[in-house]
Amino acid sequence: MADDDYLALLDRAKSSLPEKIEKHERFSIPDPDILQEGKITVIRNFLDITDALRRDPLHLLQFLLREMGAPGSLEGRRAVLKAKLNANQLSDRIANYTETFVICSECKLPDTRMTKDGRILVLECDACGAHRPVHVRKAIKPESPDAIKEGEVYDLLIHDVGR
């Protein structure tokens, strides 16, 4: 008799569950709030982003500057990049940084910290205990099949000139 009551309660509980289970993540990175000042891009909420990632602001700034190939600096709570960039470019680079330097490769949680083991940067996960060396992926540019050859004639269109 007790088994029938249990099964009836279990069926009632299952029927009250929603069909689609929503995914609630506690880890969210704020979108970069950018301001364009000519050819200078200012990320106004830079420290909010680094606080969400729990990483050193200078480390993220150095990563962004290296990825964008632009000079820049940290001024108070904002980062100033001396290049004209849009929010999508910055969001993509911050997502790459998060994948490489924040998210655990084993349990996919952001509960990690970076330590140095000699000269090697190691990502240690507080949730599952995993640790791995951080490998920064270098983008390999494929060789262009349209290489310039000596003696050939080419059409060239100049869009802009500098000083």
Give percent above pLDDT 90 in the chain: 29
- What is the Cα–Cα distance from 54 to 48, expressed in whole angstroms? 10
pLDDT tens figures, 64-89: 999 888 999 999 999 999 999 888 88
Sequence-distant (≥ 6) Cβ neighbours of residue 148 within 8 angstroms:
154
Q: Is the pTM of this model over 0.75?
A: no
Can you give the three-state secondary structure of 112-125, one letter per residue?
EEEEEECCEEEEEE
- What is the Cα–Cα distance from 72 to 111, expressed in whole angstroms? 29
